[in-house]
Structure 1
């Protein structure tokens, strides 16, 4: 059996109710803990101020009168001002750091009824931070019998044990996750899990976030939603400042980011604040961060680490405390290896890194995003916008097929819906609108290479061999060889060719499937790409 140890302050008012025998008729919080039938106190660590030394010894004597087995240990603490938070917290922290806690042998209860409000708050903070491996205990007088025993209640700060609180946390996380997704009921499991984690990080951390992914995958929109979520929770008070670093060129890049003084360079006729200064107490989104030059990278790293920087032409630093979200479609690790991106800056911004998948990898999310885009069009045009049933089905079938490459991801989907709603009479998209849009998308996605004729099989087979291959297989082979020639590896080619069937398999091996197919015709991937 573990021993029960109570830690608490002596109440110089509540623990001193009267003298002589009458004191046993009054409720005294520290004494009452030792009188509980359902609580066996083995040791009481009683903290007291030096001027209350006599009361502390009398209280300890009364505790041992109740039970000779109680080991009462008195601790005199020195606080010039018991209402000074810094003093009290430092004193109690010293007590905790010097105390020999043995949680495997003893259970600890932290008595928070006595002591000043400042002491009670400090106890709570130390307990929550696990400096004290204890549960809180609160005592109160028994209002019915008005006897000395009173009652007590134990409060466990492990919030996961409280169903109602845990349920509320889950509801808040769900609400935050839906907010980050703009209310879109996405169906891709990996994407949903990633957004759930981003929601937790956004609420709990101010460290930089790195969001990678192809153009049009939604990096800018996610960054803005993170800012709005933090603002909604009262976690951020400054502006949302966004800039595409690819638009920052030459001498103007440094000035745009860090500002400049009047006369700092030719043409600097007035002082400029700069984006980092504007983002103070807010959030700075640097899209395409891989486009920054080495000098801007060095200045940015200094601003992140020191929360200050020097505007161009100034010897006086500017303070700015902002959270950074960086976005890029580049491989920054490769950029570091090539010497175009600083490894120390990447290490600084890569604490939380998330890769947004393109629309091709989230085809199950095309339908909910289609509904979202339609709703946005309704808001923009202030009237109902919808498909007829056949037109919607045809558009979704095309969108989910291998013909739809969604080259620019959600930008392509947004533009597509805009075109159809603009051309639809009465806000009703019909089959004719869909057919026209499908042709437009197919033409838009064709590259010059794709517009050329397919590869010649005569480069790989003799006329006699081709004579024995069905025309169906010849057309298929031409396309397979074309995809292989456009791919860096056999795995990359396999992912493109088996883009739908691979989603239905628990374990995928695209390279093996493609190798087997090519072997049927005595072909080798390495020979095809030479």
Structure 2
């Protein structure tokens, strides 16, 4: 891994009595690059504007003793280098703006030079994770000896300092609350998941893969991750979101990668494409599993090399973006079925987070109900509230198994929107709640028959079905409508029994079951 060192130029220690004798003087910023067992690939050297000449001289000397070290100078001037507030604020801003890549780089923080206040501030920034590195302390050679001296790499535990630890914990809590849109969620597993996402989002630019059912909040979370990184000045570009399910045929390539004028019929002007639009920012590809194999191949190269060809172009273009991919599908199964590239999946699933559906975190319905009401008021300018009895009745239904929440938060948002729209005088009454509960129950009930007792997609007479067969058939129809192929539906419906068969034929079993009711797969999915 690449090793990067951070350090402050020493106004005294990095000086020499005269230029001719500078190699007989121990200068820590130069000396740490002279150790054979400590390779510094990149040195981020911070200096005061008044010491620009010294900074350039030290940088030249580092390059001469360690040609493999890239020295990058950063001007950062303090009116009073002993003022803790000023120094910490300046170094904190520098660290927040720096693009750390801990997945491919290791970091060292040189605390040998600078005032004691500056050294303390570097220590705090390292221990809080703002600079994700270890401390480096250099020492001069013994008296009357020449050479580069010695060094130590130090790992320190700051957890015993309660007030400092509390300050850092508060900052993390603020980030977690931000990712959750300020909703005080109660589900322990979800809160733990968000905490992991927060740590990764701040410390990595690697792709993130967010999975979960439709309506679980993948798009909203991706945008909040972008806004969090933007707050910390880790991203300067735009947030670009695209639903890959809407991209089809030649238009998919053009939309993603752009095209040249005349690249194909109808291409009357040049188009940059969404990957170019996300340069310096974040690209969120929702439903990435819907991309075609050609688009997947080009996307893989764009992720790995940050370069790609627009349609009809003979010259590459560059775009440095962070990728978040979303899907509600099993991408590994798609790989097995030849519908998704294995190398692309390997590249995007370094960090994979699965968002649970609303039915899996029912204890979070109450705070999200309040959030949805607040959002409705903000969008419409109408203050709408629920009285105590109405709230209790809604939660009594919503938090039990009777509520399916098939579309997850989209169902909850729609329910709140309907009740708030119909609320007389801005008050949602218990009568409105009862109406909404009936509406949701009807919406979630599998539709097998129409008003005349005939199947919407077949020839089933409900009056001729036992209750047992009706309930079973409703579930089969529901699963069939959610799956793209009859084999996929069969695998889900016979998940247990199929493991007992040497050669399970899920599609054939399902066709025979449907035939009992004069139903066909094609009729159900027409």
Specify the SS of the correspondent of 1:366: helix
In 2: Cα distance, 1:485 partner to 1:243 partner: 33
In structure 2, the CA distance between the partners of 1:137 and 1:174, relative to structure 1 (3 Å rule), is farther
Q: 1:442 and 1:240 mapped to 2: Cα distance?
A: 37
Task: Note the C-alpha offset of 1:51.
Answer: 2.0
The within-5 A match list for 1:24-103 is: 51=21, 83-85=57-59, 87-88=61-62, 91=65
Aligned to 1:244: 243
Name the Cα RMSD after superposition: 4.1
Q: 1:207: which partner in 2?
A: 206
TM normalised by structure 2 equals 0.63
Q: In the alignment, what sits opposite 1:461?
A: none
Distance in 2 (CA, whole Å) between partners of 1:76 and 1:347 is 38
Task: Give unpaired runs (5+ residues) of structure 2.
Answer: 1-9, 27-33, 37-53, 70-109, 141-151, 456-461, 480-495, 497-512, 517-526
Q: 1:110–1:137: 8 Å Cα contact kept in structure 2?
A: no
User: Could you say which residue in structure 1 is the equivalent of 2:280?
Assistant: 281
User: Contact (CA 8 Å) 1:286, 1:326: kept in 2 or not?
Assistant: yes
CA contact (8 A) 1:260 1:273 kept: yes
Larger Rg: 1
Provide the aligned length of Structure 1 versus Structure 2. 379
- Deviation per CA, 1:201-226: give whole Å up to 9, x if none: 11110000000000000000000000
In structure 1, list runs of 5 or more residues that go unmatched: 1-8, 17-47, 57-74, 96-108, 139-153, 458-474, 489-510, 512-527
The answer (yes or no) to whether the contact 1:454–1:479 under 8 Å persists in 2 is no
Partner of 1:224: 223
Q: In the alignment, what sits opposite 1:182? A: 181
The answer on 1:381 being equivalent to 2:355 is no
SS of the counterpart of 1:83?
helix
Question: CA distance change for structure 1 residues 350 and 87 in 2, over 3 Å: closer, same or farther?
Answer: farther
1:390: Cα distance to partner?
1.2
Q: Is the 8 Å Cα contact of residues 210 and 352 (structure 1) preserved in structure 2?
A: yes
Asked if residue 270 in structure 1 is aligned to residue 269 in structure 2, the reply is yes
Tell me how far 1:167 sits from its aligned partner.
2.5
Residues 298, 455 of structure 1: alpha-carbon distance in 2 compared, 3 angstrom cutoff: farther
Report the alpha carbon displacement of residue 53 of structure 1 after superposing the two structures with TM: 6.8
TM-score between the two structures when normalised by the length of structure 1: 0.63
Q: Give the corresponding residue for 2:113.
A: 112
C-alpha contact (below 8 Å) 1:112/1:136 kept by paired residues? no
Go from structure 1 to structure 2 and tell me whether the alpha carbon gap of 1:88 and 1:384 turns closer, same or farther (over 3 Å shift).
Answer: same
| Partner Cα separation in structure 1 for residue 180 and residue 201 of structure 2 | 13
The residue number in structure 2 matching 1:430 is 429
Contact 2:136 2:153 in 1 (8 A): no
Structure 1 residues 454 and 199: alpha-carbon distance in aligned structure 2, compared to 1, 3 A threshold: farther
Partner SS, residue 270 of structure 1: coil
- String of CA shifts for 1:46-90, please: whole Å, max 9, x gaps: xx997257778xxxxxxxxxxxxxxxxxx999xx98734375278
Question: 1:160 corresponds to which residue?
Answer: 158
3-state SS of the aligned residue for 2:276?
helix
Alpha-carbon distance, 1:481 to partner: 5.9
